[in-house]
Amino acid sequence: MQLLLALISAGYAIGAAFGWGSQELAEIMGDFGLSAAALLAAVSCYSYARAIDSRERPAWLLFAFSSLMGACGNAIWGWYEVVLGEPMPKPSLADFAFLCFAPPAIVGLLVLAKRPVTRAGWVCLALDSWLIGGSLLTLSWSLALANAARTAQSGAPGSVPRAAFSLAYPLLDIALVSMVLVLHFRRSEVNRSAVNTAIAALALTVLSDALFTSPLLSAGYQSGQLLDAGWFAGSLLLAYAPWGARRLAAGPGAPGRPPADPDRPVSRPITGSLPALTPYLAAAVCTLGILYNVVDGRKVDRVVVFTGCTVVLALVIRQGIMLLDNIALTHELAQKENHFRSLVQGSSDVIMIAAPTGTLRYVSPAAAGVYGREAEELVGTELATLIHPHDLGRVVHEVRRFLAAPPAEEPTTRIECRFKSGSGEWLNVESTVNRHQGGLILNSRDVTERVRLQAQLQHSAEHDPLTDLPNRALFTRRVRQALTGRRAGDHSTAVLFIDLDGFKAVNDTIGHQAGDELLIEAARRLQDSVRAGDTAARLGGDEFAALIIGDGSRDRSAREYQVHEIADRLRTTLSRPYRIGGREVRVAASIGVAFADPGITPSDLMRNADLAMYRAKAGGKDRVELYAPQMQAEIVRRVELAGRMRSARQEGEFAVLHQPVVSLETGEVTAVAAQPRWRSPQGILFTPAEFLRVAEYGEGPAGGPVGGPVAPSGPAAGPVRAAELGGRLLEEAVSQAAERHRAGHDVPVAVRIGARRLLERAVPPASVEALLKRHGLPPGSLVIEVAESDTAVPYEELERRLAALRRLGVLIALDCFGSGYAGIGALRRLPADILKLDRGLVEGVVESARLRKITAGLLRIANDLGMQSVADGVDLPEQAMALRAMGCSHGQGAAFSGPLDEYRLRRALVRGTFQVPGGAVQPALAGGSSGGSMAIRRGSHNETPVPPT
């Protein structure tokens, strides 16, 4: 568009320069050509005014009207010259149209001007306009207008109208030029490109008018001459202004235009000073014009003198206004400076200004309170000398990157480093950095306490609060670093998992406070025993871990020996007696070791160490176990067996068998002992000692069924809880005993329940009473056998529970008596009706004289206390005879019968008695299930081997 505009204007100028080839064509192009160009400008401005909706609309409407007047004037001129072929009369309608061109344009420029906000601004705008207009009037009057005025005074016919029109043209042009010059520096910021183009178009038109009214050109002017090219180009430029300039509209959001730099000055110094210099330049031109006439010996016209005086007066008034304005601005600036100085000096942050070289030019007074150094002392100091050497490289890199980044994209940045204080300490300082004249402004604050708090929070998140050792999260990260860092290829790295055996008993016997003290001491010993580069951690509870960093050795056997020595030393150290609260406490340590094999992940390595630790516990505790791949296979087998047990529970494959308890005097069946069994789909019966290995709780004392929890069986413990099995055993045993009772077999049933199980809320005396009532079984027909070897059970609570059960009529038996260390204490404190000897005493009662004396003593105590006695595990006739001779009243074992199903049990109860050994005696009945006889081995709780899975 711009190129097309230039080509058309240049073509018109070339045609005008060569006279268009003929006088007739020159008159047509000089009259109707100018009229068409002006009409195009009028239509363009009018269309643009209708398309916009802002305060600019009146200005463009006025520009359209001004151009329309120009088009009418040229059309009338062409009517006379081209159509009528007559000379243009003076004055005419064309003169009236041309006179109407300037006023609308002047008003339009006023609309586009930046409106002053104060009265003084409006006065200065008027004064500036008069200063420029008066100066132009002085020059014009001196050069040409004075002659026109003298012609009007001559009194010749028609001279007055012609002189008036001769004066009106330049005077309006002077006013228009004044507004153009003034408003060029006061134009609005809205759509500046369009406004600038319009001002340029009007300036070109006024310049052509000025040349037309000059004495040198006005006398010999003819249409189509080169002067018309100025009016033609001005009209085309005004037509182009609103539409072509729209695409070039300036603004920060214009597409493809780079964003403004906030630190760059809004205007250049020279451009910014021109508005202030323009009135003075105009006054200087006016003065020089007067001086020129005086020096040249010409008579100075009164109009020139009057205009010059008014210009000087306006300049004086304007200077006074500017002086008052400057005083007000100076006062306001001083107030703002004091305000901001107070803000800077009163701020708790330290504000520093650094030169591009890094030298501090200004430091706020807050430096004395923050850094302990006076601001004057820091001014002139190199900033790099105050930053910690370890942080300096990072700070320099960040500053260089920030200064190279575009200011619009990154106006500020944040730097955190250590800053040297007056006392020599290093403070943690956070600074917000801004650009300032090639240098930097730093707004800094002391964040030392925040950094310390963050470090404390980080430490708390990664360390155990009790022992201050790394916790599981930090230990896992250290293991990952050891496997993926520069030691990734070192397969001699090892992980140790450590568990304190017997710690639970410490908590239960002497309290949790003592347990915490023991853990703290154990953690200290562990931390002191590992090497400097290794990591000791507490994973939770009484479980610890250690990461032993490898030395790059490729000899696996040597490395295993070395790590085994380290683990054994740790085991010995942790197993030494602890002095807690004036008491000596002993615990042992089971340690599992796993090595970082090629391609192993951190989770797999820690899992392997955990499996090895559980193998160490299962192997007898207080030992070190190295991980072997078959451990994982064993876990898989246990998981499969646990899955089978889940389905067994859902399919009802658990059964309750009963073993008769026989009087050693008469052979009469006086009771039956309930025992759980698991019948697999293959028809194999598994004893509790076999299927509870994969349950969450292991087997109880003496390998019998349990009702309370003992040590976990390992990480692969299944979902089948022994407590749940014990509850089902009690429910099933009472139910079957009630059915036998209704059938006429009034034989008590004995159910073994662990001491811990009795203390649970799920088995209160009221629930046992409700169970008996629900099934209709007399309380005297239920015997609860309590294992007495668990020293961690609080006897006070257990005594209250047993006493409540006895008040209901339930019989109490001390089961497995003689197998533990608390037998006498239990016998002394717990209320019991029956004393049941442990099978370990019964097995050796014939061969060992020592065991015979111990057993005989225990039986005498039971008889003296009025308690019945039952020997468990009577498998041989010799054992039955020996026990009867010692005073034992009842026996239970393979010498009489094995565990029986309900059908065989009722047959035995109908029979009523078993043959009591008095010589060569055979068992009265070989127990079995409804599906056939069971293989009986030595011992009352014969275990069938678990088939391979």
- Phi and psi for 784 in degrees, rounded to 5? -100, 120
- Kindly report the average pLDDT of the chain as a whole number: 76
pLDDT for res 888: 93
Q: Which of 61-70, 177-186, 733-742, 885-894 has the lowest mean pLDDT?
A: 177-186
User: Can the peptide bond before residue 917 be classed as cis, meaning omega within 30 degrees of 0?
Assistant: no
Task: Please report which confidence band the pLDDT of residue 756 belongs to, taking 50, 70 and 90 as the band edges.
Answer: confident
Taking residue 214's Cβ as centre, other Cβ atoms within 10 Å add up to 14
Percent of residues, the chain, with pLDDT higher than 90: 19
The better pLDDT of the pair 670, 285 is held by 670
| pTM exceeding the 0.75 threshold for the entire prediction | no
Task: Please report which confidence band the pLDDT of residue 116 belongs to, taking 50, 70 and 90 as the band edges.
Answer: low
The better pLDDT of the pair 270, 163 is held by 163
pLDDT for res 272: 43
Q: What is the mean pLDDT of residues 573-595?
A: 90
CA 601 to chain centre: 27
pLDDT for res 156: 47
Instruction: Indicate whether 205 pLDDT > 80.
Output: no
Task: Please report which confidence band the pLDDT of residue 299 belongs to, taking 50, 70 and 90 as the band edges.
Answer: low
The better pLDDT of the pair 76, 224 is held by 76
pLDDT for res 709: 31
The better pLDDT of the pair 141, 642 is held by 642
- Phi and psi for 537 in degrees, rounded to 5? -145, 155
Pairing of strands 669-679, 749-753: parallel
Query: Quick one: which of 689, 761, 684, 771 has its CA closest to 722?
Result: 689
Task: Please report which confidence band the pLDDT of residue 78 belongs to, taking 50, 70 and 90 as the band edges.
Answer: confident
Percent of residues, the chain, with pLDDT higher than 70: 71
Q: Which of 295-309, 475-489, 568-582, 918-932 has the lowest mean pLDDT?
A: 918-932
Instruction: Indicate whether 107 pLDDT > 80.
Output: no
Q: What is the mean pLDDT of residues 900-928?
A: 71
Distance between CA atoms of 601 and 436, rounded to whole angstroms?
53
Instruction: Indicate whether 590 pLDDT > 90.
Output: yes
Torsion of CA 728, 731, 733, 738, to 10 degrees: -160
pLDDT for res 762: 56
Helix axes 902-911, 722-742, angle to 10 degrees: 40
Instruction: Indicate whether 424 pLDDT > 90.
Output: no
The better pLDDT of the pair 880, 796 is held by 880
Q: What is the mean pLDDT of residues 380-392?
A: 89
Distance between CA atoms of 485 and 483, rounded to whole angstroms?
6
Q: How far is CA 222 from CA 87, 315, 322, 919, 932, in A?
A: 11, 41, 48, 164, 142
Cα 548-551-553 angle, rounded to 5 deg: 120
The better pLDDT of the pair 328, 269 is held by 328
Instruction: Indicate whether 606 pLDDT > 80.
Output: yes
pLDDT for res 927: 36
Based on the number of CB atoms within 10 Å of its own CB, is 5 exposed (0-12), middle (13-18) or buried (19 or more)? middle
120-134, 315-329, 531-545 — which one is most confidently predicted on average?
Answer: 531-545
- Sequence-distant (≥ 6) Cβ neighbours of residue 214 within 8 angstroms: 143, 144
Paired tokens of 528? 């002191």
3-state percent breakdown (helix, strand, coil) of the chain, nearest 5: 55, 15, 30
Instruction: Indicate whether 397 pLDDT > 80.
Output: yes
Q: How far is CA 248 from CA 2, 9, 262, 772, 944, in A?
A: 11, 21, 21, 100, 98
Residue 158 falls in which region: left (phi positive, over 0), alpha (psi -120 to 50) or beta: left
Widest CA span in the chain: 180
Helix (H) or strand (E) holding 500: strand 494-501
The strand order across the sheet containing 350-354 reads 360-363, 350-354, 439-446, 426-436, 412-420
Based on the number of CB atoms within 10 Å of its own CB, is 343 exposed (0-12), middle (13-18) or buried (19 or more)? exposed
pLDDT for res 535: 92
pLDDT for res 533: 85
Task: Please report which confidence band the pLDDT of residue 922 belongs to, taking 50, 70 and 90 as the band edges.
Answer: very low
Q: What is the mean pLDDT of residues 268-276?
A: 47
User: Under a CB-based contact definition with an 8 Å cutoff, are residues 734 and 659 in contact?
Assistant: no
Distance between CA atoms of 420 and 689, rounded to whole angstroms?
71
HSE (CB half, 13 Å, CA atoms) of 861? 17
Paired tokens of 753? 């329940």
CA 650 to chain centre: 46
pLDDT for res 777: 92
The better pLDDT of the pair 611, 484 is held by 611
Strands, E assignment, 190-292: none
pLDDT for res 290: 67
Distance between CA atoms of 903 and 928, rounded to whole angstroms?
10
Residue 701 falls in which region: left (phi positive, over 0), alpha (psi -120 to 50) or beta: beta
Please report where in the chains the tokens 């639970």 appear, as a residue.
Answer: 504
pLDDT for res 174: 55
Instruction: Indicate whether 135 pLDDT > 70.
Output: no
Paired tokens of 515? 């347990």
Paired tokens of 284? 């200087």
User: Under a CB-based contact definition with an 8 Å cutoff, are residues 813 and 785 in contact?
Assistant: yes
User: Under a CB-based contact definition with an 8 Å cutoff, are residues 283 and 315 in contact?
Assistant: yes
Tens digits of residue pLDDT in 844-853 = 888 888 888 9
Paired tokens of 13? 């100028």
Tens digits of residue pLDDT in 609-633 = 999 998 888 877 889 999 888 887 7
Instruction: Indicate whether 745 pLDDT > 60.
Output: yes
Instruction: Indicate whether 265 pLDDT > 50.
Output: no
The better pLDDT of the pair 36, 653 is held by 36
What size, in residues, is the chain?
949
Distance between CA atoms of 347 and 369, rounded to whole angstroms?
11
Instruction: Indicate whether 741 pLDDT > 70.
Output: yes
Distance between CA atoms of 722 and 697, rounded to whole angstroms?
6
Distance between CA atoms of 259 and 254, rounded to whole angstroms?
9
Tens digits of residue pLDDT in 156-195 = 444 445 544 554 555 555 555 555 555 544 555 556 677 7
Q: Give start and end residues of each alpha helix (H) in 405-511.
A: 448-462, 472-484, 503-510
Helix (H) or strand (E) holding 590: strand 588-595
Paired tokens of 266? 């809004």
Task: Please report which confidence band the pLDDT of residue 518 belongs to, taking 50, 70 and 90 as the band edges.
Answer: very high
Instruction: Indicate whether 591 pLDDT > 90.
Output: yes
Instruction: Indicate whether 134 pLDDT > 60.
Output: yes
- Sequence-distant (≥ 6) Cβ neighbours of residue 793 within 8 angstroms: 755, 756, 759
Task: Please report which confidence band the pLDDT of residue 59 belongs to, taking 50, 70 and 90 as the band edges.
Answer: confident
Cα 415-420-426 angle, rounded to 5 deg: 85
Tens digits of residue pLDDT in 347-373 = 668 888 888 888 888 888 888 888 888
Q: Which of 488-497, 807-816, 837-846 has the lowest mean pLDDT?
A: 488-497
User: Under a CB-based contact definition with an 8 Å cutoff, are residues 37 and 15 in contact?
Assistant: no
pLDDT for res 84: 82
Q: How far is CA 888 from CA 670, 804, 924, in A?
A: 14, 28, 20
User: Under a CB-based contact definition with an 8 Å cutoff, are residues 734 and 781 in contact?
Assistant: no
pLDDT for res 521: 94
Q: Give start and end residues of each alpha helix (H) in 760-848.
A: 765-775, 795-808, 823-829, 839-843
Q: Which 3-state string (H, E, C) describes 729-782?
A: HHHHHHHHHHHHHHCCCCCCEEEEECHHHHHCCCCCHHHHHHHHHHHCCCHHHE
Instruction: Indicate whether 145 pLDDT > 80.
Output: no
Distance between CA atoms of 670 and 664, rounded to whole angstroms?
10
CA 311 to chain centre: 71
Based on the number of CB atoms within 10 Å of its own CB, is 544 exposed (0-12), middle (13-18) or buried (19 or more)? buried
pLDDT for res 213: 63
Tens digits of residue pLDDT in 773-813 = 999 999 999 999 987 555 556 778 888 888 888 999 999 99
